[in-house]
Amino acid sequence: MKIKELSATKERFTSGHRLCAGCGAGIVVRQVLMATDKPVVVCCPTGCLEVSSTIYPSTAWDTPYIHNAFENAAATLSGVESAYRFLRKKGRIDREIRFVAFGGDGGTYDIGLQALSGALERGHGMVYVCYDNGAYMNTGIQRSSATPRGAWTTTSPVGKVIPGKTQDRKDLTACVAAHDIPYVAQASPSHWRDLVTKARKAFEVDGPAFLNILSPCPRGWRYPGSQSIAVARLAVETCFWPLFEVEDGRWKLNYKPKEKKPLVEWLKPQGRFKHLFAPENEHIIEEQQAKVDKDWERLLRLCGEA
């Protein structure tokens, strides 16, 4: 895949939206929608992406677009996809249409997980994209089950009682892979060719597909907006956010750093982790490094790379 090819692709998510400067969500959406030339129906639950791209009377979406409640994007799109299949069977629609949902980690890892699991189990022909920014950013930077351990949020504040979030983040990609659907992948906007290739695969599989994509958030992660892609790349190079796919049950590693960087290099640029560098909290960095190493070794074994 060449950059020239992508640059000639029609934009389906236009400029002029109100996402923060440097927000990963807009980059993720643009890259995903570039991956198909078929008509696309988009479903988007309440969240940063929705409130910033569809403020009445404006919209940044050059696609049919459905806004639904925080928790039921997968259920809504399941109904739309079912209606489409019925109408095709009756001969009332004669063209191929793709269906994609874009949900944040709050609406995917947490309150949307039941609807997502149900849609995957039923086998609907749809792509679900989680743009993972690691908190409920839209409602005030509250912790989610995607928030890394030790991170500051407004509901896991740093103080004398707790040093940020006290729990490890949920491995949602593995949870979805356990549903044994045709295609599951983890991606990052810092590696655009890998991301678009995975989105193309997702749009073309017969059945449900899931993409978990890191979405850097300057506001919630506390770094300058110009550094979003650099921060995303560090997440990959430290193996905090490895790039892999699970295709028909087969795990495959897509990127192996030539030199695995220490986790501290990803933590340092982010203000939400600055308290971890105080002497009394440095043990959390060491424990998180050990967890990243353990998870990486497990992934290598699953992918036959150990």
Q: Is 70 exceeded by the pLDDT of residue 42?
A: yes
Reported confidence tier of residue 9, pLDDT bands at 50, 70, 90? confident
Length of the chain: 306
pLDDT at residue 3 tops 80: no
Q: Is the dihedral of CA 16, 20, 25, 27 positive or negative?
A: positive
- Using pLDDT thresholds of 50, 70 and 90, give the confidence band for residue 10: confident
How many Cα atoms are found within 13 Å in the side-chain-facing hemisphere of 22? 17
Mean pLDDT of the chain: 96
Of all residues in the chain, what percent carry a pLDDT higher than 90?
Answer: 95
CA distances from 148 to 53, 144, 165, 227, 291 (A): 27, 9, 7, 19, 11
In one-letter notation, the amino acid at residue 181 is I
> CA distances (Å), 197 to each of 128, 241, 302, in order?
15, 18, 21
How far apart are the C-alpha atoms of 262 and 296, rounded to whole Å?
12
Q: Which long-range contacts (CB under 8 A, 24 or more apart) does 47-50 make?
A: 47/103, 47/104, 47/106, 47/107, 47/137, 47/138, 48/19, 48/23, 48/104, 48/133, 48/137, 48/138, 48/217, 49/19, 49/25, 49/102, 49/104, 49/131
Concatenate the DSSP letters of all residues of 257-297 into one string: -SSPPPTHHHHTT-GGGGGGGSGGGHHHHHHHHHHHHHHHH
DSSP 21-44: TT-HHHHHHHHHHTT--S-EEEEE
Q: What distance in Å separates the CA atoms of residue 76 and residue 145, rounded to the nearest whole number?
A: 23
Answer whether residue 192 shows pLDDT above 90. Answer: yes
Q: What is the DSSP string of 104-151?
A: ESIIIIITTHHHHHHHHHHT-S-EEEEEE-SSBTTTTSB--TTSPTT-
- Residue holding tokens 């934009």? 11
- R_g (Cα) of the chain, nearest Å: 19
Quick one: which of 192, 188, 189, 183 has its CA closest to 210? 183
pLDDT of residue 1: 64
Poorest-confidence range of 8-22, 82-96, 194-208? 8-22
Question: What distance in Å separates the CA atoms of residue 222 and residue 227, rounded to the nearest whole number?
Answer: 11
The predicted pLDDT at position 6 comes to: 75
Q: In terms of Cα–Cα distance, which of 222, 230, 128, 213 is closest to 179? A: 128
Residue 259 has pLDDT above 90, yes or no: yes
Rounded distance between C-alpha atoms, residue 253 and residue 19, angstroms: 32
**Residue 276: its pLDDT value, please?**
98
Residue corresponding to tokens 């930077």 = 141
Is the Cβ–Cβ distance between 68 and 43 less than 8 Å? yes
Q: Of the CATH numbers 3.30.870.10, 3.40.50.970, 3.30.9.10, 3.30.390.10, which one belongs to the domain with range 3-302?
A: 3.40.50.970
Write the CA distances from 196 to 28, 123, 128, integer angstroms.
9, 23, 14
220 contacts 134 by C-beta, under 8 angstroms: yes
